[in-house]
Structure 1
Amino acid sequence: MLVVRVLGGLALEHAGEPLEPPGSRRARELLALLAVTPGRCSRGLLAARMWPDVPEAGARTGLRGALAELRRGLGPHAAVVQAGRDDVGLDPAAVRVDLRGFRAAADAGRWAEALAWDRGTLLPGLEAEWAEEVRAEHARSLLRVLAEAAAGHEAAGRLREAAELAARRVRADPLSEQAGRELVRLLAAAGDRAAALDAGRALAERLQRELGVPPDRETAALLDGLRRARAAPAGDDAVSGPTAPALGDLAPAEFVGRDGPLAAVRAARRAPLPAMVLVRGEAGIGKTALAAVTAREAVAEGWTVLHGRCDEESIVPYCAWVEALGPVVDGLDDRAAARVVDDGGGGLVRLFPRLRRGRQGPEVTEDADTERWRLFEAVARLLAGLAARAPVLLVLEDVHWADRSTLLLLRHVLRTSQETACAVLVTARPEEAGEEALLPALLTQERRERRLTEVDLAGLSETDVGRLARRHRGGSDWSRFVRALHAETEGNPFFVREILRNLPTTPDSAPLPPAGGFDVPDGVRELLQRRLRRLDPVAQDVLTLASVVGRDVDLGTLEAVGTWAPDHLVDALDAATASGLLTEQGIGRWSFPHALVRSALSDGLSRTRRARLHARVADALERRGAAGAAEIAHHLLGAGDPASVDRAVGYARQAAAEAVAQAAYAEAAAVLRRTVDAVTAVLGADPHRLGPLLLELGEALSRAADTAAARQTFTEAAGAARAVGDPAWLGTAALGLAGPSWQGFGTVDAEVIGLLEDALAVVPPDRPALRARLQARLAVALSFARRPERVQELTAAALDAARGLGEGPVLAAALEARLWATWHPYGVAERLALADELLDVARREDAPETAAVARRWRVVALLEAGRIEEVWPETARHAEEAGRLRMPYELMYVAVFTTMRALLEGRLADAQASAEHVRTFAELRGGADAVQFGGVHALTLASLAGGLAAMADPLLGFARAYPALPAWGGAAAYALAVAGRTDEAQAEVDALWPPEERLPVDAVLLPGLVFLAMAVTALGDRERAAHLYRLLEPLAGRTVVLGAGGAVWGTTDARLAELAETAGRPGAAAAHRAAARAALRALGADPELFARSAHAVPTVH
């Protein structure tokens, strides 16, 4: 039977093989017209449709000519055109038309069958009037079918499938507001709120851009509801914010010269989708004052204001966030706290243990990225809950001192709160970026996304300095005085105020010093020291001690450390407050008004005196039991007392553990690094003391994704272990250096392999669990080292030991190592069995994270086995597990599998969007995988879109970067051949020849053979094509999967067909080609797209 396709373009097919349509343009148009016309059509009507502007006699003559050309073009199939005296048609018994199949299925209500016929636009490019009419009619039918099919899926509870069909409907009719609204609704119902909001935003942009109208009331209400969907439930126990933020109380009475910056901040805060405002300026320039005035205005408008500060000597992880969110958490009653925790806020317990209220804390996983992600999501949900009640202004000051965890959380909030009424205002000094390169990167990203408003504060003008001076003092003509004051301070408001405070007190009517006549110190530190000297000795000592305690101090601590009488102490604090050197924050609590004030006091101390004060503070805090481990450790380490080393180490380790529990891994590492340095400085490089600390430090650095520092630390720990002769330490150091099993795909790390081998050689048999872990991790490290016998030996030993031990985590590690060892074309069946066993272990151990990993392995193995009907349910289960657990690495794979399916089904725009999402995971510890998936996706998109030649140089880059993955070299050879760079392509092929020696039996063997086959075919190398055919033939019918589900490149039969054709075996080529097309259909792929793309190898020789 002859198949005529008009959906997606005019095409002919017979017995599974494509045929060339007739060469004549009018013959092709006649064939298309006959195909879309039901039954037989009169000659007069056909002629009129094809030549509407030609007289009837001329049109009929043209029709006779077109009929003759059509019959000639159809060759042996000419008889399918049945032409009578009065009418013409296609023989329904000999011809099957896809449009007719679509119409029949749609009329019968068989929606899935109708959609299976649809391959794209009807007769694209044909501009005849009749074609436009039929095209419009089919578009209406398609929209109806998509709507009905989506409704059926929704009624059956298959919301993801319903949303996918709704997305197709939007692509078919992008200006239909009803279709766009339905997509938003279904995405939200399926639980993908982010995608729903993206779809809503895209709909609004299309309506405005193309039609010049905003969304209607129904759409606007839907989107507004979505923006509030992440809020805590309404009612008496809903989340509410603080009503009187302290920041607004700091707004100065003399706020002058800042009308422009204040207007810019005000506009950004009130924007429809407020994002981030950066207020930047030098110390003392007025950043806090501007933030305070903004906060005061926001409160007056009914906003909730949250305020936190970063400190140069940050002791507590996430200190700014704890300060900002603390009033919210403290305001929750038991019922509201329980609702917040149950509604996905369990991660907040890590920051605020008091939220637990007697309940069990959140389950802790071993995966650092997952724990951090859960905490970040909990904070984002809390902010969304607040924003549902009232707009939120989050103010974070001095972010140039922010720790890495604080910045990572800020970035997450900015990314996830784009549809939430939450504005973020941060302040920073331009000259201090701290040690974190993350801050500049975050600002760059916000600029790129056009979500950042930058406000740079400069010095006040001379006029504004005069206004500020007059508010401090009245008097006669100030012009000369103000001119000198402005020149001396360059308009810095803090410096201006300090100088004005430092002037001798005189009546307003008294004459002022002449210009330049007052004594201005060289710098503000000297000025502050002068003000300090005006206080009595007790006040001076109190302030000096307070500067060592920290930016915030309380009366109890000062009483416990000092020897002053209580009344004298309070008098001293009152005097310091009156002089502007302290600010009273509440009963018994003070803070330094500016970091410059505290540093001016503490910097004047000798090292010895500072150390002694640290020791006294530590003792007092320990006695009182009013401080956390981090604060006590900070002071003990600052004391540097050999007699206190053990106490310091104990508190430091406790502080690091608390930081890890809060997913503040960088802060845990900072505490441990300072501890290591302090112990070394006091006691020297004692391996007995340093070994455990180095192991903990290495683990914290690894969790913080500081891989280079972690490796160095684990290497140092291994040295300490060797010096002490402790094999367990050495084994732990080796496992730490190796990192997670998924880290480093396609690399051979000689240092890791060497240390694992050394540890395995000395860990005794009476430590079977540690030995099994070492064997499993070493096997993974050797995956691409071309030592298969050693890998098999190690995985067999690890599995035997683990099964004997009965310890779930050890068995899981051994099973995953064996999965790596069998990741090759000949190990699919064993991999499926291993993945099933790993899933059973996860169920027995109640380890959902392990279950997600097992499902990921199952997806890849099922793909390779061609069991496509099982793949999509398994990807859905994997996505559900990953989403529920918030495991970033597995969420990356959710995006990978989504991209893979879109590529397979020819939905290139969807694939491009999800591939972009994959690349956002490059910052994780397994970020190199995201980079390689980016290469796989770019290669596949370019191939399907016909732009493969441009990929030649990037693929060469991947080949050089990953020499253990020769498949990249094969892909580069193919792209070079397509680009016409045949000499370079030949050189890449030569480097991989003979393939049975150059391509190891590993995870990329099949892609390597396939790419090499495509390159050889493109080069027309008959001898090598025959050689590759013999190697690939035993794998006929196998699905070609790039990486761990990155993309599917059809089946091996397509490549075997090309190799057979090149080798001069046309019969074998035809058989393989038919099998390949059948396999593509079974996979749900678009054979026409694959046939048109570079997947169909051009010959360039």
Structure 2
Amino acid sequence: RPFCGRSLELVRCREAVAQAGPTVAWVWILGEPGIGKTRLAAEVARLAHDDGTVVLFGRNSEDLRVPYQPIIEVIRQAYADGVIEPGPVPEALQPLLPGDVTSSDRRASPGDDEALRYAMFEAVADWFGAAAATRPLLVIVDDVHWAADSTLQLLAHLQRRPDGAPVTFVLTARDTAPDEHPRVAALIAAAQGREATTVVRLEGLSSDEAADLVGPAAGLDMSSIMRQTAGNPLFLQAVDPLDGAVDIESAVRRRLVTLDPRVQDTLRIVSILGLEFDLQVAAAATDRDEFDLLDDLEAAVAARLLDDIGADRFRFAHALVRSSLRSELSSARRARLHGRIARALHEVFADDVGHLPELAFHTAEAAEVDRSLRPVAVERLGRAADEAMGQLSFHEATDLLARARALAPPDDAHQLADLALRHGIAQTRAGKNQTAARTFGEAIELARQTDDVVLRVEAAVRHEDASWRPGNSGIASLGHLAEAREVLDGAVRSGRTLPDELLLRARLAVAQLRALALSGRRSETDVAFEEARELAARLGAPNIEANVLSVYISQVMFYEDFQLAHSMVERLAELEPLIDDNDVALHALHDRILYATLVGRFDVRRELVRTMSDLQRRSHSSFWQFIRANQEAMEAFYEGDLAEAERLAEHCRDLADDLPEEDGSGAFGLRMFMIRREQDRLAAMAPLIRLVVSRAEGAAMWTPGLAMLLAETGATAEAAEVVRPVRDAGFDVPVDALWSTVMVFLAETMVQLGDREGCAVLRERLGSLAGTNVTTGSGLLCFGRAERYLGMLSFALGELDDAEQQLGVALEGDAAGGSVLWSNESRLWLSRVRRAQGHVAEADAMADVVRHEAAAAGLARLVRLAEAELA
């Protein structure tokens, strides 16, 4: 096809190719269908090849979402063309390449998944560097808008990599509805901030360029043609030479009618094969001799409906040409042709895993009509999902298993339960825990109809693991777990031998322990803890023991017995070098960090945070990156660095947005509430807090928060009314991850209101926190020493000696922890106590220290309050 216009765009692309060197260059060619993206990329490739650059090509399939498809094609082409010397595939690269994939362990850790994926992506980057060691390399990645999620993850990784080699990636993508892809848009947006990136957005050809493309055609009105086509090259080539009308399907039909009817039928059949197809498969699908079929395909090439791309492969001239041909076939005929193609693929490639995705796709499409094909379709979809899991492509595996479940026979409960379990595992490893919990719930219901004990226990354990979250009740899981235990015990009593029974029983015990703890069933939790710990000891499994300890420490001991928690935390430290699961190790470190925060050992905490940061970076876990950022945000606020705390709060929110099914808005709102308070800007948040309180899901925490806000801004009557229901209930609020935060808000409110009875009740309830730092959840916020709140309450009750002692302890602890914010808050309250005791000069001196230190740190609220004390 002629190359018309695009002179400026071609120059920009060639300049990008010429500049590739120490940093990999990226060229994005964007535009609507038919605008000439692939044609421009081909011209760039041709000229680069003439200059001695090695050119490799990979594309994304319109029908399939094959993991890493274009990169796999590029690597295969490079080996086939001798671009890189054949040799053993590096171990880190093996999961990428079908045939070298090992089946994934159902219990593989998500943390390990991300470490393996990172290593694989790095191996791909190193492979490109090796391929470009002697000659520059140009890699065309076509139709990125059709790319699988795993492909986009890999491209994002390569694009972020700071160093590189003389490699240029040229990527084409549609950027118009309905084909635009949000993740592709995000990739492009990220790329535009890099110096080595060129983004070329193609518009329509000019009138002169369009005339060159259309060629001499007597009597055609080019102005009318330009109005119809907007200069789109594909549409220009579809112009009817007789009347100037523009219609792709009509243009395809005009070219078709010039061909033999047999050629026309051949093209309709191969349109089902895909945008690109193999001669052998096409011959098998049409039941034709290859030489005989080549006559038809070559005729189609001459009619500009197909392109011969070499190596016995052909490609439709454009996706719109293919879709036009395919649309002429009824759905019934398409389904039957999919069946013929599936048989042809199996005949040509047998069980070659490299062709398993297309084999599974065509079999599934045929099985929609031909029920006899459904068992084999389910089997092939399942195998394709296993391969995708082995390639760490969990989103694609999820899609494949969803389709397998839809095609599985409705009366085969065992197969349906097994597929649901596998589906949930894929969703979990894709980070979609809430969705996975629902899927595991379906697996539980289906497994009940079977006598497969392991399946029933596995489904229950997986359901609990996917559904638990701090602050959530575990009641929904308890029934499933109790039933699973009964089934397991019954099978053992009947003499059945189960594989890995002890490990299965230990995992079930951990799940029951966590569910009981989160449900508040305290006495049963202790029994479950002892049982789970005993099973871990029998197994001699550090991972299991660490998991048991983490659950019990974080869900029970941190609320009740810090002395007992200390010995358990020490045991976690002993287990640390023995734990070989990154996720378990990070959970254990997280619990140790929280314990150090609670007991005020900030020197230990900071050392543990450094250790955790190193492990997180090695594991490349996005979730633990989010947790690490939360720890940094907590410390910035604790220290009183409000600007850094706000920056990190926004960073945490953005990281949460990048995690599947993670909502960071609640944590962000709480952090900003406290930051704005210390900036003395809390009144502006009142309308927002009122809105949140009006929604049931926000009432538990934000009703006390609104009451505190109102009390601090002088609206004491309204504050008393807002807090009245909680006060009348004796401040009986759920003891969960937010309990301490709610109690802090209530204590502040009662003190502001001068409610002596309420202060007395709260002081008793908060007494168990003496000797610790008040911390939200798993380390979201740290409010400093609990003695400050006890001292405030004692002061409001007029018990000045107690208040002095408690606030002195708080000041000492907050100062030792390095908190400018909370040490000065404690100092301010202590100055009030000393003033009430008649020590005015000492009180003024304390308030003056608060004023100066708070002003230096930008703590406007404390400055205002200190100045009020000194007035």
Q: Which band: TM-score by shorter chain? A: 0.7 to 0.9
Inter-partner Cα distance in structure 2 for 1:957 and 1:306: 56
Show the counterpart of 2:618: 884
CA distance in 1, matches of 2:624, 2:186: 25
How far residue 858 of structure 1 moved from its aligned partner, in angstroms, is 0.8
| 1:1024 aligned counterpart, secondary structure | helix
Is 1:903 the counterpart of 2:637 in the alignment? Answer: yes
Matching residue of 1:703? 429
Q: 2:382 corresponds to which residue?
A: 653
Task: Kindly indicate whether residue 267 of structure 2 is the aligned counterpart of residue 543 of structure 1.
Answer: yes
1-structure distance, mates of 2:516, 2:96: 40
Say which is worse superposed, 489-498 or 578-587, in terms of deviation. Answer: 489-498
Instruction: Say if 1:846 and 1:442 are closer, same or farther in 2 by CA, change over 3 A.
Output: closer
- Structure 2 partner of 1:524: 248
Distance 1:813 1:870, change over 3 A: closer
2:366 aligned with 1:639, yes or no? yes
- Residue 373 and residue 868 in structure 1: after superposition, are their counterparts in 2 closer, same or farther (change >3 A)? same
Higher relative contact order (CA 8 A, sep 6+): 2
Matched, 1:613 2:344: no
Q: Is the 8 A contact 2:35 2:204 kept in 1?
A: yes
Cα distance, 1:485–1:334 mapped onto 2, change above 3 Å = closer
Deviates more, 1:1079-1088 or 1:391-400: 391-400
C-alpha displacement of 1:495: 2.8
Tell me which amino acid in the other structure corresponds to 1:667.
E
The question of whether the paired residues in 2 share the 8 Å contact of 1:825 and 1:1003 is answered with no
Contact 1:967 1:1009 in 2 (8 A): no
- 1:842–1:1079: structure 2 CA closer, same or farther, 3 Å change rule? closer
Per-residue deviation, residues 36-94 of structure 1 (Å, max 9, x unmatched): xxxxxxxxxxxxxxxxxxxxxxxxxxxxxxxxxxxxxxxxxxxxxxxxxxxxxxxxxxx
Aligned-partner Cα distance in 1 for 2:686–2:54? 54
Please, which of 52, 56, 67 is the counterpart of residue 317 of structure 1? 67
Any idea what SS the aligned residue of 1:480 has? Answer: coil
Contact 1:1038 1:1051 in 2 (8 A): yes
Q: What SS class does the counterpart of residue 998 from structure 1 fall into? A: coil
Question: Within 5 A, what are the aligned runs for 1:605-754?
Answer: 605-623=329-347, 624-625=349-350, 626=352, 627-640=354-367, 641-679=370-408, 683-684=409-410, 686-706=412-432, 709-724=435-450, 728-740=454-466, 744-748=469-473, 751-752=476-477
- C-alpha change, 1:734 and 1:486, in structure 2 (3 Å) is same
Q: Give me the whole-angstrom Cα distance separating, in 1, the residues matched to 2:103 and 2:182.
A: 33
- Measured in 2, the distance between the counterparts of 1:1055 and 1:431 equals 57
Q: Does the C-alpha gap of structure 1 residues 481 and 697 become closer, same or farther in structure 2, counting only changes over 3 Å?
A: same
Equivalent position of 1:404 in the other structure: 149
Give the whole-Å Cα distance in 2 for the aligned partners of 1:482 and 1:329.
48
Deviation at 1:655, TM superposition (A): 0.7
> Would you say the 8 A contact 1:896–1:933 is kept in 2?
no
Deviations 1:501-540 (A, max 9, x none): xx6xxxxxxxxx6xx2x7x5x7322432442343345544
Percent identical pairs in the alignment equals 28
CA distance in 2, matches of 1:782, 1:949: 41
Query: Which of the residues 909, 917, 921 maps onto 2:651?
Result: 917
Corresponding residue of 2:829: none
Residue 854 of structure 1 deviates from its aligned partner by 0.9
**Who is 1:491 aligned against?**
231
- Give, in whole Å, the separation in 2 of the partners of 1:1096 and 1:777: 49
Change (3 A) 1:1004 1:497: closer
CA distance in 1, matches of 2:35, 2:303: 20
Deviations 1:553-612 (A, max 9, x none): 223323444433332233333222222222222232222231122223333334444333
Shift of 1:313: 0.6
Partners in 2 of 1:426 and 1:676 — Cα distance? 34
Amino acid at match of 2:205: L
Q: CA separation in 2, counterparts of 1:269 and 1:1070? A: 73
TM superposition score normalised by structure 2: 0.80
Per the TM alignment, residue 375 of structure 1 is displaced from its structure 2 partner at its CA by: 2.2
**Alpha carbons of structure 1 residues 706 and 883: separation in structure 2 relative to 1, 3 Å:** closer
Structure 1 residues 839-894: Cα deviation after superposition (integer angstroms, max 9, x where no partner): 65564463343222211111111211222232222111111111112122222222
The one-letter code of the counterpart of 1:855 is L
Number of aligned residue pairs:
813
The whole-number CA distance in structure 2 between the counterparts of 1:449 and 1:963 is 42
Deviations 1:979-1016 (A, max 9, x none): 34434433453343368652344444333333322222
Deviation per residue, 1:196-216 (Å, 9 max, x gap): xxxxxxxxxxxxxxxxxxxxx
State whether residues 959 and 965 of structure 1, in contact with CA within 8 Å, keep that contact through their aligned partners in structure 2: yes
**In structure 2, distance between residues paired with 1:1054 and 1:802:** 41
From the superposition, tell whether residues 955 and 824 of structure 1 become closer, same or farther in structure 2 (CA, over 3 Å).
Answer: farther
Q: 1:361, CA displacement in angstroms?
A: 11
- Partner residue in 1 for 2:317: 593
Deviation (angstroms), 1:490 = 4.9
Counterpart residue type for residue 712 of structure 2: V
CA shift in 2, pair 1:703/1:361, >3 Å = closer
Residues 824, 1003 of structure 1: 8 Å contact kept: no
Counterpart in 2 of 1:367? 109
Task: Sort the Cα spacing of 1:575 and 1:779 in 2 relative to 1 into closer, same or farther, 3 A.
Answer: same
Per-residue CA distance 1:899-923 (angstroms, 9 max, x = gap): 2333333344443443333223214
Q: Which runs of 5+ in 1 are unaligned?
A: 1-251, 504-512
Instruction: Provide closer, same or farther for how the CA distance between residues 830 and 617 of structure 1 changes in structure 2, counting only shifts above 3 A.
Output: farther
For the Cα contact (< 8 Å) 2:26–2:168, is it kept in 1? no
Residue from 121, 127, 130 that aligns with 1:379:
121
8 Å CA contact 1:824–1:1004 kept in 2: the answer is: no
Tell me the residue number matched to 2:668. 934
Tell me which residue corresponds to 1:95.
none
The amino acid of 2:3's aligned partner reads E
Residue 893 of structure 1: aligned partner: 627
Give how far 1:697 is off.
Answer: 1.9
Offset from partner CA, 1:596-643 (integer Å, 9 cap, x none): 222233333344443333333323333433453222212222222444
Q: 1:427 to 1:437 in 2, by over 3 A?
A: closer
* Aligned-residue CA RMSD (Å): 4.4
Structure 1: how far apart are the matches of 2:61 and 2:754? 67
1:287 corresponds in structure 2 to 37
Q: Alignment partner of 1:1069: what SS?
A: helix
Query: Residue type of the partner of 1:714?
Result: F
Q: Which 5+ residue runs of structure 2 have no aligned equivalent? A: 493-500, 826-849
**Amino acid of the structure 2 residue aligned with 1:317:** P
- Match in the other structure for 1:582: 306
Q: For the structure 1 residues 1095 and 830, does the alpha-carbon distance in structure 2 shift closer, same or farther, using more than 3 Å as the test?
A: farther
Name the counterpart of 2:3: 254
Match of 2:780 among 1025, 1042, 1046: 1046
Letter in 2 for 1:630: P
Aligned-partner Cα distance in 1 for 2:749–2:88: 64
1:49-198 matches, cutoff 5 A: none
After TM superposition, the score normalised by the length of structure 1 is 0.65
The Cα of 1:393 is off from its aligned counterpart by 7.2
Residue matched to 1:144: none
User: Which AA in structure 1 matches 2:727?
Assistant: W
Indicate if the aligned counterparts of 2:280 and 2:290 stay in contact, CA closer than 8 A.
no
CA distance in 1, matches of 2:568, 2:434: 33
Alignment of 1:813-828 (within 5 A): 813-828=547-562
Partner-residue secondary structure (3-state), 2:782: strand
Structure of larger gyration radius: 1
DSSP-derived class of the 2:173 partner: strand
1:1079 paired with 2:808, answer no
**Alpha-carbon separation, structure 2, partners of 1:988 and 1:444:** 46
Deviations 1:207-259 (A, max 9, x none): xxxxxxxxxxxxxxxxxxxxxxxxxxxxxxxxxxxxxxxxxxxxx54322x45
Contact 2:305-2:321 within 8 A present in 1 as well: yes
SS at 1:1064's partner residue? coil
Shift of 1:335: 7.7
Give, in angstroms, the shift of residue 656 of structure 1: 0.3
